[in-house]
Structure 1
Amino acid sequence: MPDLSSLSALSSAISATVAAAAPSLVSVHSHRSRASGFIWKPGLVVTADEALADEGEVSLAFADGTTRAATIAGRDHTTDVALLRFGGQDAPAALLTNDVPPLGSLAVIMAADQGTPVAALALVSKSAGPWRSLRGGDIEARVELDTRLRHSSEGGLVLDAQGHAIGMAVRGPRRTLVIPAATIARVAGKLETHGRIARGYLGAGLQPVRLDDGLGAMVMSVDKAGPAAVAGLRQGDIITTLNNQPFRGMRALMRELGPDSVGAVVEVAALRGGEPLQVALTIGERPA
């Protein structure tokens, strides 16, 4: 006969963990979009940027049944972290830890559905080191869960087997990704202070073009006051290399234009009317 006492103890432990985290969860409603979020600090909620509408009013539904209006304090699409500000500071904040769960361990996804807390059990299917998102965001750990995430649960908390909040659940292809607590602290802290994350800016509209020996980027437009214009690039120029590295596409370029790129000098090789051209371009900060 199976040991039902062990199963009962596990069930009770999970239930207690869920109950402790539930008061920090909120539902996030924005222009026909419903997601989840959690109280990061008094008066501040973290949610998934991808689940947040681009415009319109935002409201929060709390576990105690109350609803409050919120404003967007800042958002960073490269790490999928958005910060919302609301009036009142009586709701408890989630206590996040920088622990990274081991492969194969259990995790609990905590979210909210119209203010009501919901939970799902998952397995950590991948646990690895730092990585960079397709949008160019630096994320401190690669943690994946073996479950799909409902749209309304995106932005919810992920708890480890000890009941510690380790990050935020976001939707990935065929699986759930975890934005770890360390990334949230770094990004949300900057959003709270500055309202945005600095990103690199070339000041040129580029279009990939095929060349005889690879890929290039044709300059389609130039910001008259931007870095490309200052460096001497013109409309019609075709960029072939950056710091002696071949141009590998717009997605790869955007990944390189992170916060640390601002102020860096890049050696740009280009073609103008078929003739080679070399310029030094100082990467600027993308306008708000």
Structure 2
Amino acid sequence: MEASRVLPATALACVALLAGCSGPAPSSNAPSSPATTAAAPRVSGPAGDLQAAYQKVVKDVLPSVVQITTGQGLGSGVVYDGKGDIVTNAHVVADARTFKVSLATGGATLGARLVASYPDQDLAVVRLDSVPKGLKPAVFGDSPQVEVGQIVLAMGNPLGLSSSVTQGIVSAVGRTVSEGRSGGNGGSGPTIANMVQTSAAINPGNSGGALVNLAGQVIGIPTLAAVDPELGEGAAPGIGFAIPAATVTRIADQIIKSGRVTDSGRAALGITGRTIVGADFAPAGVAIVSVEKDGPAEKAGLRAGDIVTRVDQTPISTMQSLAEALAGLRPGDRAEVTYVRDGTERTATVTLGEV
């Protein structure tokens, strides 16, 4: 099992699995330390202030970042509360129900079990079988306050290197990204809206960890790394994505309270569809296979056989593009759906439902 994921740098929607769960931690063959060492030089001025801020954030937050190991690989997680709940990516836990958890502060490996997984947002919560003394929950930030240019640190266990920290900035906010499923079936995984793009390195094993601002707040859960098409499956440097804190807390709170997600916040058209191709064999729209009885599409007059080609001003050529269009909308929103029936283009106003 692999675990952070990657998307082609030329198309933010096409993602294939890459980072998150990797193999065992690499062995170290580093030479022994010399008998005497010089004291680290003291850095003064603005550079010293920034270095001190980095070090404080690492000291404050890293104890809240754990390593999660399954039978297939490993990933990262963030301590969510004092009851032993840990939030991570759904693709980190995959099909597992029990886990081994290692704390950044050391000590014996702890057992944990799955509370619930919500693959539609690639989030899951696991709970420690016993809560160790001094377990430190992370502080989650306010997503609307995240701005491009903010310095961030990504904390996790890339390639099994426990408690690693990388540094970067917030490169963009509000990205909509479609993940791929294990095995490289690009674009067939969940589509997640409002993701935080960062230049902090996200490597296999980082998935489910923490993207942290200099105030020591977790602003996102690192999940994806982009792929450079010219490098095949190689990650494109400096393009990673994290699920925003607001989404994480909304989903995690529901899972912890109810054992499942009761309010997804995700808009739905209420159809089963499939991508069709045109005369040039290029994707040409989404054919409706069936409509949900009394669902949004049926109430708006759509029916099986109709071909959806646009939602509001967004062209629809594939199921993936339809998922991306809906990801930017909310249940209850009214959307104008353009479709083709019997060779004639029509429109319908649909009041969207919920996944």
Shorter-chain TM range is 0.7 to 0.9
Residues 26 and 115, structure 1, Cα contact 8 Å, conserved in 2 = no
Aligned AA for 1:207? T
Matches within 5 A, 1:87-236: 87-90=129-132, 91-98=135-142, 100=146, 103=149, 105=151, 107-112=152-157, 117-124=162-169, 126-134=170-178, 135-139=190-194, 142-147=196-201, 149-173=202-226, 174=236, 175-193=239-257, 195-196=260-261, 197-199=264-266, 200-210=268-278, 215-223=284-292, 226-236=295-305
Aligned AA for 1:176? G
Tell me how far 1:274 sits from its aligned partner.
2.9
In structure 1, stretches of 5+ residues that fail to align are: none
Is the deviation greater in 258-267 or in 180-189? 258-267
More strand by share: 1
SS of aligned partner of 1:5: coil
Tell me how far 1:144 sits from its aligned partner.
0.6
Aligned AA for 2:225? G
* TM-aligned CA distance change 1:259 to 1:62, over 3 Å: same
Deviations 1:164-213 (A, max 9, x none): 4443323321233343434433343344445222431422323233379x
Per the alignment, residue 86 of structure 2 pairs with: 45
Provide the rounded CA distance (Å) in 2 between the counterparts of 1:245 and 1:24: 41
Provide the rounded CA distance (Å) in 2 between the counterparts of 1:262 and 1:103: 32
Provide the rounded CA distance (Å) in 1 between the counterparts of 2:150 and 2:138: 24
2:110 is aligned with 1:67: yes
Tell me how far 1:129 sits from its aligned partner.
4.0
- Percent identity of the aligned residues? 24
SS of aligned partner of 2:205: helix
Deviations 1:8-40 (A, max 9, x none): 967776555434333322222234131000111
Provide the rounded CA distance (Å) in 1 between the counterparts of 2:293 and 2:148: 51
Deviations 1:256-288 (A, max 9, x none): 3249543445454444333555555443333xx
Provide the rounded CA distance (Å) in 2 between the counterparts of 1:11 and 1:275: 64
Residues 53 and 214, structure 2, Cα contact 8 Å, conserved in 1 = no
Per the alignment, residue 64 of structure 2 pairs with: 24
Aligned AA for 2:192? G
Tell me how far 1:241 sits from its aligned partner.
4.2
* TM-aligned CA distance change 1:102 to 1:218, over 3 Å: closer
In structure 2, stretches of 5+ residues that fail to align are: 1-39, 179-189, 227-235
* TM-aligned CA distance change 1:61 to 1:230, over 3 Å: same
TM-score when normalising by structure 1: 0.74
2:147 is aligned with 1:83: no
Aligned AA for 2:114? T
Residues 65 and 163, structure 2, Cα contact 8 Å, conserved in 1 = no
Deviations 1:65-91 (A, max 9, x none): 23122214342544x433333444442
Provide the rounded CA distance (Å) in 1 between the counterparts of 2:43 and 2:74: 37
Aligned AA for 1:29? T
Provide the rounded CA distance (Å) in 2 between the counterparts of 1:216 and 1:113: 39
Is the deviation greater in 234-243 or in 56-65? 234-243
* TM-aligned CA distance change 1:65 to 1:258, over 3 Å: same
SS of aligned partner of 1:4: coil
Deviations 1:31-68 (A, max 9, x none): 41310001112332111233331x23231413232312
SS of aligned partner of 1:56: coil
TM-score when normalising by structure 2: 0.62
